[in-house]
Amino acid sequence: MAESILFYGFAAMILIAGLMVVISRNLFHAALWLALSLFGVAGIYVLLSSYFVAGIQVLIYIGAVVVLTIFVINMTREITGDMNAPRKTAVVPALLASALTAALIISAMLKTDWASRMSRAPASGADNTELIGRLLLTDFVVPFEAVSMLLLAALIGAVVIVSKDTGEKE
Amino acid sequence: MITLMHYTVLSALLFSIGIFGVITRKNAITILMSLELIFNAVNINMVAFSKFVAPSAAQGELFALFIIAVAAAESVLALAIILAIYRRRRVVNADEMRLMRN
C-alpha cells in the first residue's frame, strides 16, 4: 500500500516536472523543473531498492549536470521571452510523434508474455551495493576503465572547446 | 501491488515527453534538457528490468550507471559547444545555427 502511494507520488512528480521542462518558456525554471524530475527518478530507484544508483543519480545528475546547465543558461543571455517559445508549426507533429511512440512501447509491453520471463524469486529489498562494487572491479573492469578514459577525454575536450575562443580574442 | 508494467509505462510516458521537447523547442539548452529526460526514461527501464527479471544479478543497474556516466560526458561536451557557439555568434537557438548552410 505504501509502495503504491510512493510510486504514484514519484510518477506524478516525474511526469509533471518533465512536462514543465518541455513547455516552460523560462530556461531557468525549466532547469529547476528538470532537477525536480530527476529527483523523482531517484525516488523511483529507491523504490526499486537500488540505493547506489539513486545516490549516483542525485550526485551526478542533480549535483553536476543540472548545476552545469544552470551555469551555461546564466552565461547565455536569452533566458526568457519569445525567443524561447516552442515552434508553433512543430507542436502537432511532435504531439503525434510522441503519442505514437508511447502507444507503440505500451502496446508492445501489453502483448509480451512476461510471466514466463519473470524470476521466480520476488525482488528483495536487500541492498546490492556490494555486488555492484565487486562486479565493477571484476567482470566490468574494462568498461569501467573505458568510462574513466571517456570522462577524462570529455573534461579535456570541454576545456579546449571553451577556452579556444578567448585565446583568439586576446 | 506495483508491477513491471507500471515502471515501463512510466518510462514510456517520460520518453515521449522528452521526444516532444526535442522536436518542439528551439533553444539548444532546452533540447539538451529534454535529452536528459529521455536518458532517465531509459535508466528507469534498465533498473526495473534488472530488479524484476534477474534480481540476484546487477547487470541492469551497472548499465544504468554507465549510461549516467556517458550522459554526463555528453552533456558537458554539448554545453561547451553551445557556449563556444554563443560566444562566437551570439546564437543559442538550434535553427539559427546554419553556418554550414548557404
Q: Cβ separation of A83 and B26 shorter than 8 Å?
A: yes
What pLDDT digit, counting tens, does each position of A35-79 carry? Answer: 999 999 999 999 988 899 999 999 999 999 999 999 888 888 766
Residues of chain B neighbouring A69 (CB-CB closer than 8 A): 29, 32-33, 75, 79
**Is A91 within 8 Å of chain B by CB?**
yes
Domain boundaries, given as residue ranges, for chain B: 4-96
Query: pLDDT (tens digit, 9 = 90+) per residue, A102-138?
Result: 999 999 988 887 777 776 555 566 778 888 888 899 9
Residues of A in contact with B2 (CB under 8 A): 3-4, 7, 47
Residue A21 to residue B13, Cβ atoms within 8 A = no
Q: Give the model's pLDDT for residue B38.
A: 95
Angle, CA of A110, B16 and A15, to the nearest 5°:
95
Tell me, yes or no, if A38 comes closer than 8 A to chain B by beta carbon: yes
| CA nearest to A91 within chain B | B24
Q: Helices B59-89 and A141-169, interaxial angle, to 10°?
A: 10
CATH code for the domain defined by B4-96? 1.10.287.3510
Q: Do A143 and B9 touch (CB under 8 A)?
A: no
Question: Taking CB atoms and an 8 Å limit, are B72 and A151 in contact across chains?
Answer: yes
Inter-residue contact A137 to A144 (CB < 8 Å): yes
pLDDT band with cut points at 50, 70 and 90 for residue A170: very low
Environment class of A95 (CB within 10 Å of its CB; exposed 0-12, middle 13-18, buried 19+): middle
pLDDT digits (tens, 9 = 90+) for A147-160: 999 999 999 999 99
Q: Who contacts A45 (Cβ-Cβ below 8 Å, separation ≥6)? A: A51, A53, A54, A57, B47
Q: Do B16 and A102 touch (CB under 8 A)?
A: yes
- CATH topology (fold) of A1-84: Four Helix Bundle (Hemerythrin (Met), subunit A) (1.20.120)
For residue B55, the model assigns a pLDDT of 74
Give the pLDDT of chain B (102 residues) as one tens digit per residue: 778 888 999 999 999 999 999 999 888 889 999 999 999 999 999 999 888 887 777 888 999 999 999 999 999 999 998 888 888 877 777 777 777 766
Identity of residue A29: H
What pLDDT, on the 0 to 100 scale, is given for residue A45?
93
CB distance from B45 to chain A under 8 Å?
Answer: no
CA–CA distances in Å: residue A78 to residues A17, B23, B28, B29, B86 = 22, 20, 11, 11, 11
Restricting to A residues 148-167, those with a Cβ less than 8 Å away from any Cβ of B are 150-151, 153-155, 157-158, 161-162, 164-166
Chain B residues lying within 8 Å of A17, measured CB to CB: none
Domain extent listing, chain A: 1-84, 128-170
